[in-house]
Amino acid sequence: MWKIMFYQPCIPPNTGNAIRLAANTGCELHLIEPLGFSMSDAQVKRAGLDYHEMAHVTVHPDLATAFATLQPERVFAFTAHATRYHSDVEYRPGDVLLFGPEPTGLPDEVFEFDEITDTIRIPMLPARRSHNLANAASIAVYEAWRQNGFQGAV
């Protein structure tokens, strides 16, 4: 499946919801430190319900280490500044879907990594900042899964 990557996430319930997303879709969830919370935070656990044990979650100390560990073939960085839509990509299992922290999005230094294949955006109305992080990841994962025939789904 796909690899969901949250770069320095700040809001515990969003990560908890992403844990549920990973468990329900078979995706891996990769979190890049520093995190704005502890993984033992009650809000993370509450939002993730009892899915924590069903999800594959890895915390990496930094983005370079994550890329060195995963050695991804393709990384799609989601940003409101991109011109291509998420639905314009032909996703393949193993792709990394990279999202930035809730208040700011991905910082400029992330785009300097050679591993970034392309920047893409999720459409929304003008004069809006962004989608909720867990919701944006869900939109991207389900588009990728849909394109691949919802392989493994019931």
The total number of structural domains in the chain stands at: 1
Q: Is the residue at 153 inside a domain? A: no
Q: Is the residue at 133 inside a domain? A: yes
State the pTM of this model.
Answer: 0.93
Q: Is the residue at 152 inside a domain? A: no
Q: pLDDT tens digits, residue range 100-143?
A: 998 899 999 999 999 999 999 999 999 888 889 999 999 999 99
Instruction: For the chain, report the end-to-end CA distance as a whole number of angstroms.
Output: 15
- Determine the structural domain holding residue 71 and report its residue range: 3-147
Contacts of 57 (CB under 8 A, 6+ apart): 19, 22, 28, 29, 30, 31, 39
Is 107 or 48 the better-scoring residue by pLDDT? 107
CATH number for the domain harbouring residue 57: 3.40.1280.10
> b/e string for 33-64 if b means 16 or more Cβ within 10 A?
eebbbebebeebeebbeebbeebebeebeebe
Tokens 């944006």 label which residue?
136
Q: pLDDT tens digits, residue range 6-44?
A: 999 999 889 989 999 999 999 999 999 999 888 876 766
